[in-house]
DNA sequence: GGCTGTGGTACTCG
DNA sequence: TCACGAGTACCACAGCC
């Protein structure tokens, strides 16, 4: 598949300067890299391929030949006005950054563009080869992809490298009209603009106080063993004689097997439907063995999923944890995170206090205040919610006063807590039964079925706009939704009402966080304040102690500015703090 | 008997 | 029995050599 006529291998500085000059005639330049491995913290870039859309040549820059002589000319190009087209830009940007090269917008990522236009519908892959096949009707030979790029390069390798870059401007030309047609230009720009922040978060990672973590792990494991032994004895209650006859090894239950645990509970005469927490909580007060099981589960989860696994992710070179952020990992537009998933580290102080800044540094942490409720107020245009937020009122307290009939000043702590469950549950059209269960399990709030029904009724009498929004979405029978920023999600089969309501709210919150990250990456470029993580409504920075105040102020104002970019009726508030670990409030 | 992949369950987060 | 969105660990099972 010939997509270019000439491959120009660049091995000296002057040739590179000439090449960059030639490329200035192109508005769009495909960029790809070949690296000696997959880890930007260990491996190195061998080649950078540049393919201008107005040239029939592809420049293949050999970094092993050029060394640091490439930095200035390439930085001139990468900060220039041309659209730099990548496929899976995050991968290349991380390696480029490590080589001292920073790419400024405009950037176009064909993988992200493809994910956006399919809007959450599964359509096969978004690999480069998938896109070339789909949009250009050709097949790419990827056989050189995993070849050894650290030695003398064969013609075949060079051709492969050039071809991957050459195809990118053409892919962009195919994808850009689809973004336009689907109203996704702003969303695409948002995603492209926050690439540098994602690169920051992955390259910087977070520091784990390993000794502290290991001490925690030892303690949790001891607790787990105690809990397991106790539970094991209680589960064998019906067959104590057998145990005394055949020894303690007899009839042990695999505590991690729901099947065996269920059988054991039933053989004790306990009427269990399933072994999930929802089934068990109501039985815990009557059956000590059930309480023991819940306690064991609690500790076992912490040991197995977190305590033992996290240290395996500490990087050999940096000593930090570098997770992978999946920019479009969730179909609402949120990030997902893996290897490890730092977005689900338990909230408890004992865990989060192990995440610490480097010596001499502070963590600067900010989160949005009730962002989803605020977005729901904006989308539904509910007059009462909007007024409350404009006046800086506490919405949970307001809801408590509306459903109890009390004055705002007389609302108790417990009532406010109950109202939290009411707010979060009911904005997405939860039923009374669901509300009751949700309030109990999530907030420890007990309410009768009648109370739940009454709360629900009063809630929608108070927030009429919210109810109207629910009715209009239910009546629309739409197969798609959009966030305020225009992000699209489509369904193949009839979506549930709750999904139709939740997606634009969660997605708009994601738009806001991404906008904040994009602004931050730009504002912090060239400083020693680092973006180290993001958890849905929270952004974490690490800064030298002397700059922590500045960073906190910048973080708060930037996050609020991002909110104001999307929300016009409701103010968005972010709260920042300076801390010596992730745990401090 | 041991390996791999898959689906289900349970639990963590916002 | 739980509003939405995720990832991971574990078990159970099917299919394979």
Q: How many CB atoms lie within 10 A of CB A88?
A: 15
Q: Is A443 among the domain residues?
A: yes
Model confidence, pTM? 0.93
- Looking at the fold, whether A522 and A445 belong to one and the same domain comes out as no
Nucleotide nearest to A537 (CA to C1'): B14
The domain in which residue A382 lies consists of 372-488
Give the pLDDT score at A424. Answer: 84
| Number of independent structural domains in chain A | 4
Is residue A379 situated within a structural domain?
Answer: yes
Same domain, A158 and A71: yes
CA distance A419 to A445: 10
In angstroms, the first-to-last Cα distance of chain A is 58
In whole angstroms, what is the distance from residue A515 CA to residue A561 CA? 9
Torsion of CA A534, A536, A539, A540, to 10 degrees: -40
Q: Which of A279, A274, A281, A227 is nearest to A255 (CA)?
A: A227
* A39 and A160 belong to one structural domain: yes
Same-domain status, A407 and A512 = no
**What local confidence, expressed as pLDDT, does residue A140 receive?**
78
C-alpha to C-alpha distance for A344 and A323, rounded to whole angstroms: 12
The answer to whether some atom of strand C lies closer than 7 Å to the beta carbon of A373 is no
Nucleotides of C under 7 A from a protein CB: 1-12
Tell me if A289 is assigned to some domain: yes
Residues A569, A386 contacting (CB under 8 angstroms)? yes
pLDDT of residue A243: 46
Please, are residues A548 and A578 in contact by the beta-carbon 8 Å criterion?
Answer: yes
Sequence-separated (6 or more) residues with CB below 8 Å from residue A177: none
Q: What is the CATH number of the domain that holds A457?
A: 1.10.150
Query: Could you report the average pLDDT of every consecutive run of 10 residues in chain A (585 residues)?
Result: 76 95 94 92 94 91 92 95 96 95 96 90 80 88 74 85 93 96 96 95 94 91 87 69 48 81 85 82 85 88 87 91 91 90 89 95 95 94 95 91 88 84 86 82 78 88 93 91 94 88 94 96 96 94 97 97 96 95 85
CB-count burial class (<10 Å; 0-12, 13-18, 19+) for A177 = exposed
Specify whether A398 is located in the same domain as A538. no
Residues A482 and A531 in one domain: no
* Residue A82 shares a structural domain with residue A229: no
Measured CA to CA, the distance from residue A363 to residue A365 in angstroms comes to: 6
The CATH number covering residue A332 comes to: 3.30.70.370
Q: Which of A265, A288, A310 is the last residue of a domain?
A: A310
Residue A62 maps to a domain: yes
Is residue A57 in a domain? yes
Same-domain status, A458 and A547? no
CA–CA distance, A435 with A43 (Å, rounded to integer):
52
CB A302 within 8 A of CB A276: no
Whether A49 contacts A161, CB under 8 Å: yes
Positions 245-274 in A, CB within 7 angstroms of strand C = 254, 256-260, 273-274
CATH number of the domain where residue A90 is located: 3.30.420.10
| CA–CA separation, A492 and A514 (whole Å) | 27
Q: What angle do CA A297, A536, A561 make, to 5 degrees?
A: 155
A582 touches strand C (CB under 7 A): no
Strand B close to A348 by CB, under 7 A: yes
């Amino acid at each position: 598949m010939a997509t270019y006529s000439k491959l120009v291998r660049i091995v000296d500085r002057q040739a590179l300067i000439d090449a960059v000059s030639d490329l200035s005639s192109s508005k769009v330049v495909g960029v790809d890299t070949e690296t000696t491995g997959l880890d930007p913290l260990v491996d190195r870039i061998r080649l950078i391929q540049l393919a201008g859309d107005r040239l029939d040549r592809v420049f293949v820059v050999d970094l092993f030949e050029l060394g640091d002589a490439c930095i200035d000319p390439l930085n001139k190009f990468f900060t220039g006005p041309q659209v730099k087209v990548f496929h899976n830009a995050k991968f290349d940007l991380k390696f480029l950054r490590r080589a001292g090269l920073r790419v400024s917008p405009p950037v176009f990522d064909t993988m992200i563009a493809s994910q956006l236009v399919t809007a959450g519908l599964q359509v096969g892959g978004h690999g480069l080869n998938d896109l070339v096949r789909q949009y250009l009707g050709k097949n790419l030979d990827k056989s050189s992809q995993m070849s050894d790029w650290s030695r003398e390069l064969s013609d075949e390798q060079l051709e492969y490298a050039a071809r991957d870059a050459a195809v990118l401007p053409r892919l962009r030309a195919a994808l850009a009209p689809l973004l336009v047609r689907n109203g996704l230009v702003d969303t695409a720009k948002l995603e492209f603009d926050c690439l540098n922040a994602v690169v920051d978060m992955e390259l910087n990672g977070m520091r784990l106080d390993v000794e502290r973590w290991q001490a925690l792990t030892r303690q949790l494991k001891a607790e787990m063993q105690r809990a397991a032994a106790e539970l094991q004895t209680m589960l064998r209650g019906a067959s104590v004689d057998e145990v005394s006859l055949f020894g303690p090894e007899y009839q042990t239950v695999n505590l991690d097997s729901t099947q065996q645990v269920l059988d054991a509970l039933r053989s004790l005469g306990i009427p269990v439907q399933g072994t999930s927490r929802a089934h068990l909580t109501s039985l815990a007060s009557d059956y000590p063995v059930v309480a023991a099981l819940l306690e064991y589960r609690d500790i076992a989860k912490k040991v197995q999923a977190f305590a033992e696994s996290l240290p395996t992710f500490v990087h050999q070179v940096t000593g930090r944890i570098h997770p992978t952020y999946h920019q479009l990992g969730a179909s609402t537009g949120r990030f997902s995170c893996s290897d490890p998933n730092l977005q689900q580290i338990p909230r408890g102080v004992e865990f989060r206090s192990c995440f610490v800044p480097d010596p001499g540094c502070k963590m600067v942490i900010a989160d949005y205040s009730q962002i989803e409720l605020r977005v729901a107020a904006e989308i539904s245009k509910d007059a009462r919610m909007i007024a409350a937020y404009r006046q800086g009122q506490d919405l949970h307290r307001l809801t408590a006063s509306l459903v109890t009939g009390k004055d705002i000043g007389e609302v108790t702590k417990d009532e406010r807590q109950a109202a939290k469950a009411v707010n979060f549950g009911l904005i997405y059209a939860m039923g009374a039964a669901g509300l009751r269960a949700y309030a109990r399990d999530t907030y420890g709030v007990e309410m009768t079925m009648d109370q739940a029904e009454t709360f629900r009724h009063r809630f929608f009498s108070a927030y009429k706009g919210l109810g109207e929004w629910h009715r209009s979405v239910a009546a629309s029978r739409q197969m798609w939704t959009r966030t305020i920023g225009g992000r699209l999600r489509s369904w193949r089969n009839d979506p549930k009402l709750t999904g139709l309501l939740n997606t634009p709210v969660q997605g708009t919150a994601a738009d806001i966080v991404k906008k904040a990250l994009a602004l931050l990456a730009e504002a912090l470029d060239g400083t020693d304040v680092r973006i180290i993580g993001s958890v849905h409504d929270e952004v974490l920075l690490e800064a030298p102690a002397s700059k922590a105040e500045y960073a906190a102020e910048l973080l708060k104002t930037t996050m609020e500015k991002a909110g104001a970019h999307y929300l016009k009726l409701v103010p968005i508030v972010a709260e920042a703090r300076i801390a010596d670990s992730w745990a401090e409030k």
